[in-house]
Amino acid sequence: MPTPPKRPEENQVKDVDALIQSFEQLGYVTDRALATSVYLAMKLHKPLLIEGHAGLGKTEVAKVLAAMLGTRLIRLQCYEGLDVGAAVYEWNYQKQLLAIKIQEKTEQTVEEKEKHIFSKEFLLERPLLQSILAEEASPVLLIDEIDRADEAFEAFLLELLSDFQISVPEMGTLKAKHIPYVILTSNRTRELSDALKRRCFYHWIDYPDFEKELRIVRARLPGVEEALGRQVVRFVQAARQLDLTKPPGVTETLDCVLAAMSLGKHELDIQTVEETLGCITKSMEDAAKLKSAGIEKLLS
């Protein structure tokens, strides 16, 4: 297979180290494994599938990538029942009916009338088609939480992810002028198909260790006091060791630090934990488990 042509915006990303530096300048603390996955996905023109627990910064990868490249971010939020009309395109029926009314008084043939009303003028572009029809530069297409969509929609994606084209029955096959950078995320609520995985470069994001999570807190909340940041990270890391239904992610760590700062707290103690518990746990059962494990014990 021939080497894909380099996209102009890739020139600023010379190697993995340059990508890590660019990401961190934009406030995203990454490790070399993730940076290498993003770099190779860019160079090989392959979609990148990022799986991991919720709240670990999967979606943020696409946002930071778009900011780094200075290109457009197009986001498709997946959900159960997502169909072609919401994800790809649909026709503007009201505008088509109006055009048909106007054409009734013309001498155009039926074929000419159909060609007109099934043109781009009447096409409502949804995220996937927007990424294919981008005119100026390669956009970043974020297909967020693909595991929430059903298998039928997953199968529909295969044409896009393989050939970067979309078939519109009334217009034919539309091919990308600028191949988009594609990031797919999954919280792994269900297993994705082998066909989808084969078309993607894959990376698993795990919970960060103490030092990396502390670096994330410093990067995202520059005004945080060092002692408070360390205490919150240590507490959240301890909470993840419990048998919680939804262990806290990095998002919850940042929320907890920000909540403590907003309350004017300079350290994390039992009272502060109880006041900000809603940042860490997202259910009554998990809150009860955390309390029964002993807040004071977790803090120490």
pLDDT of residue 2 exceeding 50:
no
Give the pLDDT confidence score for residue 83 in this predicted structure.
83
Confidence band of 9 (pLDDT split at 50, 70, 90): low
Give the pLDDT confidence score for residue 23 in this predicted structure.
95
Rounded to the nearest 10°, the torsion over CA 46, 157, 136, 170 is 140
Average pLDDT of every residue of the chain:
88
| 190-246 pLDDT, tens digit each | 999 999 999 999 999 999 999 999 999 999 999 899 999 999 999 999 999 998 999
What mean pLDDT do residues 102-128 have?
74
Higher pLDDT, 171 or 239: 239
pLDDT of residue 4 exceeding 70:
no
Higher pLDDT, 56 or 109: 56
Q: What sign has the CA pseudo-torsion 206, 57, 149, 170?
A: negative
Q: Which CATH superfamily is domain 8-81+133-205 in?
A: P-loop containing nucleotide triphosphate hydrolases (3.40.50.300)
pLDDT of residue 136 exceeding 70:
yes
pTM: 0.84
CA–chain centroid gap for 3, Å, is: 27
Give the pLDDT confidence score for residue 159 in this predicted structure.
82
pLDDT of residue 163 exceeding 90:
no
Q: In angstroms, rounded to a whole number, what is the distance separating the alpha carbons of residues 218 and 222?
A: 5
Count Cβ atoms below 10 Å from residue 21 Cβ, excluding itself. Answer: 13
Domain residue extents for the chain: 8-81+133-205, 89-125, 210-293
Confidence band of 11 (pLDDT split at 50, 70, 90): low
Give the pLDDT confidence score for residue 6 in this predicted structure.
55
Q: In angstroms, rounded to a whole number, what is the distance separating the alpha carbons of residues 1 and 162?
A: 13
Question: 209-213 long-range CB contacts below 8 Å, 24 or more apart?
Answer: 210/234, 210/237, 212/29, 212/31, 213/237, 213/250, 213/253
pLDDT of residue 180 exceeding 70:
yes
Burial class (CB in 10 A: 0-12, 13-18, 19+), 74: buried
pLDDT of residue 155 exceeding 70:
yes
Question: 103-111 long-range CB contacts below 8 Å, 24 or more apart?
Answer: none
| 42-96 pLDDT, tens digit each | 998 899 999 999 899 999 999 999 999 999 999 999 999 888 888 887 877 778 7
- Which of 181-185, 242-246, 290-294 is the most confident on average? 181-185
